[in-house]
Amino acid sequence: MPPLHRTVVLLALTLAPAFAIGVTLSPEIARALHAARIPPDAVTVLVQEAGSGTKRLSHNATQPMNPASVMKLLTTYAALDELGPAYTWKTPVWLAGPIRAGVLDGNVHLQGRGDPKLTIERVWLALQRLRASGVHEIRGDIVIDQSAFIVPDVSTAEFDNEPLRPYNARSQALLLNLSAVIYTFTPDATRGVAIVSAEPQLDGALVDATVPLGNGGCGDWRGALKASIGDPQRMRFAGSYPLSCGERYWALAHSDARQYTARLLATIWRSGGGRLGGTVREGAAPADTAPTFELVSPPLADVVRDINKYSNNVMAQQVLLTLGLQRNGGLRVAPEDAREALKQWLRERLGESLDGVVIDNGSGLSRDTRLSAALLARVLQRAWSSAVMPELMASLPVSGLDGTLRRSRGNAATTGRAHLKTGSLRDVQALAGYVLGASGKRYVLVAMVNHPNAGAARPALDALVQWTMDDLARSN
């Protein structure tokens, strides 16, 4: 028996039953999983040649597990395949009334259609078009139509009791700036305070202008601020800000997403000198007249890149709802409709039973989602041979270069050779995507760990990627 083979066999026997996948795993992978105290039934792995489907490594591949953010691969590929990379969201705007001497004698209506990328800059440009139309005063109201998405009124604290983390922001048909506010803290040692600024500023919402400076380290500086973050009317700081922190930023989702949208629209309109006689409120858009103009989003391919490179949960949920909206005729969509739309797409493209598959919100920010490595590998194989392969692959983080893999372990020889979506939740670690071997062959790789010790599985996943890259060493 060759020495290397004998070593692997002996190691596998030594590790049993704590981890006994077999001799197909390298000693490094087996040691890392054993060190993390992760049992075999908590791990699923599948490595195949891209295009041929030839298996190089398979363990527990048909067992459904929580994929965490790797779920975004399924959502984004389905959207690219169904809608096309050039698909754009259109947000209709109506000027409902005559314009005389710069005054619109009526309402402005905006109808949300799910655009995930309505940033402050794009909203500003939309309102600039009102001014270009000669409107400087709106005598009526700015009316927001949110009816396209039927989103349940549930607490955003349900997932992890962190309702104001930006990733927990709720989907909306008219979602502005991902409902986020970035607070900046800039120390002024001469005055003994940190200056607080908020971007964007929201009409009618107050923020403490300063917070006292404190001594000590910069460990839990957010906790030291003692912020009252649940009041949509006022952000208060009862604590202090450590001088040693320098300038820091704190991004939060607004505690009332609907109010955020209304306040931001009012802020942007008035900041450009516009006058508003009425209020910003929700209501139905005109059903019997064509819109005055439409605000067009960047193409889906750009949105998918933002989602996968930086694991943007809110944008992924917007995309899933959009997929459901298109499948049911474009009128309105509820989350259950969107989930069924993605399942229909899977049945049509893969033509197999979906037993054990659980789809929740499309982002992977869920305790309920379940997919198998075998299913994800089939999706990645289909994507590899599809017309949208370049767009999907270009959206994935590249090892050692960008996105969530920018700081991944490796060296100059391995940098850039893996395009992988990462996933991480409490008790979950996952990787899926494409890896380039030393032989020049490309591999589909899917790995998921569901276990209380999953947080310690990263060295094993890194070793698996390296094992896949080192295919020349195993060719004989």
Task: Report the percentage of the chain scoring pLDDT > 70.
Answer: 90
Token pair belonging to 8? 């692997």
Average pLDDT over residues 144-148: 97
* Per-residue pLDDT at 235 exceeds 80: yes
**473 or 270: which leads in pLDDT:** 270
> Residue 413: what pLDDT?
62
Whole-angstrom CA distances from 75 to 69, 152, 315 are 10, 21, 11
Q: Choose the weakest-confidence range: 21-30, 145-154, 185-194, 378-387.
A: 21-30
* Per-residue pLDDT at 161 exceeds 60: no
Helix orientation angle between 120-132 and 257-271, rounded to the nearest 10 degrees: 50
* Per-residue pLDDT at 48 exceeds 90: yes
Average pLDDT over residues 105-118: 97
| C-beta of residue 126 within 8 angstroms of C-beta of residue 89 | no
> According to DSSP H, which parts of 133-256 are helical?
221-225
Average pLDDT over residues 20-26: 47
Average pLDDT over residues 138-164: 79
Helix orientation angle between 71-83 and 300-310, rounded to the nearest 10 degrees: 170
Tens-place pLDDT, residues 206-216: 999 999 999 98
pLDDT bracket for residue 331 (50, 70, 90): confident
pLDDT bracket for residue 17 (50, 70, 90): very low
> Residue 404: what pLDDT?
87
The helix or strand, by DSSP H or E, that contains position 268, with its residue range, turns out to be helix 257-271
> Residue 157: what pLDDT?
52
* Per-residue pLDDT at 312 exceeds 50: yes
> Residue 166: what pLDDT?
75
Q: Average per-residue pLDDT in the chain?
A: 89
Helix orientation angle between 458-469 and 27-35, rounded to the nearest 10 degrees: 170
Tens-place pLDDT, residues 443-454: 999 999 999 999
Where exactly does CATH 3.50.80.20 map onto the chain? 88-298
Q: How many CB atoms lie within 10 A of CB 212?
A: 13
> Residue 1: what pLDDT?
41
Where exactly does CATH 3.40.710.10 map onto the chain? 3-85+303-474
**Pairwise CA distance, residues 18 & 428, whole Å:** 19
Signed CA dihedral, 156, 157, 159, 165: sign only: positive
Average pLDDT over residues 403-431: 86
* Per-residue pLDDT at 415 exceeds 50: yes
Task: Report the percentage of the chain scoring pLDDT > 90.
Answer: 74
Fold of 88-298: D-tyrosyl-trna(Tyr) Deacylase; Chain: A; (3.50.80)
Which runs of E-coded beta strand occur in 172-261? Answer: 180-188, 193-199, 206-207, 210-214, 227-228, 234-237, 241-242, 248-253
> Residue 16: what pLDDT?
34
* Per-residue pLDDT at 306 exceeds 70: yes
> Residue 327: what pLDDT?
92
**Pairwise CA distance, residues 428 & 415, whole Å:** 25
pLDDT bracket for residue 232 (50, 70, 90): confident
* Per-residue pLDDT at 85 exceeds 50: yes
For strands 193-199 and 210-214, give the pairing. Answer: antiparallel
* Per-residue pLDDT at 351 exceeds 90: no
Q: What's the one-letter identity of residue 170?
A: R
DSSP code string of 417-433: SEEEEEEEETTEEEEEE
> Residue 3: what pLDDT?
39
Terminal CA-to-CA distance of the chain, rounded, Å? 14
Which pTM was predicted?
0.90
Average pLDDT over residues 11-29: 45
Tens-place pLDDT, residues 247-285: 999 999 887 888 999 999 999 999 989 999 999 999 999
Fold of 3-85+303-474: Beta-lactamase (3.40.710)
* Per-residue pLDDT at 412 exceeds 70: no
> Residue 24: what pLDDT?
55
List beta partners, residue 144: 110, 282
* Per-residue pLDDT at 304 exceeds 70: yes
